[in-house]
Structure 1
Amino acid sequence: MSNQNLTEQLEAATQQFMANSPIEAQIKIGQMIEELQKSGIASGKQPGEKAVDFKLTNALGRDVILFEELAKGPVVLVFYRGGWCPFCNMQLRAYQQILPEIQATGAQLIAISPQKPDHSLSLQEKEGLEFQVLSDPNGLVTAKYNLLFDVPPGVREVMEGIGLDLAEYNNTSKWVMPVPATFMIDESAIIRSSYVNPNFMQRQSPEEILRELKKL
């Protein structure tokens, strides 16, 4: 899948969202994106900063420790909203397509979301993902990467209106969500590049990831 494909897919999904969602829902979601962009509340860690170590469980319930993985080579660390988000699923599918090329550089891909492990497992199986998909309970690691935010009441109403109880989905009492982000982390645990975008309908292209990886 080429970058254009992912970009085109995301654009088509955005058009579909605009065509099918009530205008009120679009306004609330637009306000959330704008507020995040303006406030910088969840602007992510910056290049040159040290990555924060973590221990999280993967879809099979096994522990994954970031610094142990970095001992093997660079890590492309992806924070996504959850398997309920079609934009995230497109992104992860596109990244699966370039996984052999990521691995050929000696790197690996790790994806993190606040969803509970059984949702990660069904996502992994459904999308045929061959990289680690980790669960971050309550978004604690996401918060350390400065990506976590509280879902505004208006957007919560929109999500509940389509039958999505995010707190239940993530097995937590809080309605929290990550700003989608992709970090390239080198073996010395330094973040070498970051892509953080409050507009969840846009994601870093596979091509860009491979370009950044080659600089490590």
Structure 2
Amino acid sequence: MATLFEEIKSYKETFKQKAPEEKQRIMAQATKELEESGIAKGLKTGDHAPDFTLPDATGQSVSLNEELSKGPVIITFYRGGWCPYCNLELKAYQAKLPDIQEAGAQLIAISPETPDSSLSTKEKNNLQYKVLSDEKNRVAEQFDLVFKMPDYLIDVYKDSGLDVPGHNGNEDWELPKPATFIVAQSGEIIFADVDSDYTKRTAPEKVIDILKNHQ
């Protein structure tokens, strides 16, 4: 089975071959500007994770503190089910879910999508872990992950038929940077990976290794 890195590499190669050069240039420019802006750097290792309560894909409330009572929690913030890189990541974590559970951890995925959109993402990828809806990015804000898409990038998304407002239930055009955190039962963040480049994701194998070493 291909690793997440290999899956992403393959998708990027296909995108490079098929997508118009101008579209690729604009998207690369937006990523570069986001990186250089210095905004939304994310919480760091050693920080205390803020508690939160969010609805899952079926509308049931899930709180971080309650999940931490069961063991350490992996939190992965993703942009939405419309993002191919997010779907690759979500499926990669699903494939490693037995190993994550064996390490005694819980897994939570969070996006700004509405519960209905989150349910579609969960069903599409056959996810057996909690997929939470963080409308208006309130929790992502607490983790210092939120940025507003520039107008020129919004135009590209619209031209591509990507209805981000439809998925998120608002016209903010705000997204979280993709990020993965491991939160110990004490609430301390023992691993944090935040990247302005939305094509870069944390391999589940890396997360599992950290969990095992922390036991």
* TM-score category (smaller protein): over 0.9
1:29-48 aligned at under 5 Å gives the runs 29-48=27-46
TM-score, structure 2 normalization: 0.96
Amino acid of the structure 2 residue aligned with 1:107: A
Could you list the runs of 5+ residues in structure 2 that have no partner in the other structure? none
Q: Judge which range, 148-157 or 164-173, deviates more.
A: 164-173
Hey, what does 1:172 align to over in structure 2? 170
Match of 2:20 among 6, 19, 22: 22
Hey, what does 1:62 align to over in structure 2? 60
Distance, in Å, in 1 between the alignment partners of 2:68 and 2:172 is 31
Could you list the runs of 5+ residues in structure 1 that have no partner in the other structure? none
Once the two structures are TM-superposed, the CA of residue 27 in structure 1 deviates from its matched residue by: 1.6
Report how many residues are paired: 214
Asked if residue 142 in structure 1 is aligned to residue 163 in structure 2, the reply is no
Amino acid of the structure 2 residue aligned with 1:199: D
Distance, in Å, in 2 between the alignment partners of 1:86 and 1:124 is 14
CA RMSD of aligned residues (A): 1.1
Amino acid of the structure 2 residue aligned with 1:26: Q
Superposed CA deviations along residues 16-74 of structure 1, whole A, max 9, x for unmatched, are: 22222222221221111112222220111000000011110000000001111111110
1:95-114 aligned at under 5 Å gives the runs 95-114=93-112
TM-score, structure 1 normalization: 0.96
Distance, in Å, in 1 between the alignment partners of 2:193 and 2:126 is 24
Structure 1 runs of 4+ aligned residues shifted over 6 Å read none
Amino acid of the structure 2 residue aligned with 1:165: D
Amino acid of the structure 1 residue aligned with 2:60: R
Hey, what does 1:89 align to over in structure 2? 87
Superposed CA deviations along residues 177-208 of structure 1, whole A, max 9, x for unmatched, are: 11100000000000001111111111111210
Amino acid of the structure 2 residue aligned with 1:116: T
Distance, in Å, in 2 between the alignment partners of 1:170 and 1:62 is 18
Hey, what does 1:52 align to over in structure 2? 50
Amino acid of the structure 1 residue aligned with 2:202: Q
Once the two structures are TM-superposed, the CA of residue 210 in structure 1 deviates from its matched residue by: 0.7
Amino acid of the structure 1 residue aligned with 2:46: G
Asked if residue 212 in structure 1 is aligned to residue 210 in structure 2, the reply is yes
Amino acid of the structure 2 residue aligned with 1:65: S
Hey, what does 2:10 align to over in structure 1? 12
Partner SS state of residue 49, structure 1: coil
Amino acid of the structure 2 residue aligned with 1:137: E
Amino acid of the structure 2 residue aligned with 1:47: T
Match of 2:126 among 110, 125, 128: 128
Distance, in Å, in 1 between the alignment partners of 2:205 and 2:3 is 11
Once the two structures are TM-superposed, the CA of residue 215 in structure 1 deviates from its matched residue by: 2.6
Distance, in Å, in 1 between the alignment partners of 2:107 and 2:65 is 14
Distance, in Å, in 2 between the alignment partners of 1:181 and 1:157 is 25
Distance, in Å, in 1 between the alignment partners of 2:171 and 2:10 is 33
Contact 1:25 1:155 in 2 (8 A): no
Distance, in Å, in 2 between the alignment partners of 1:215 and 1:163 is 44
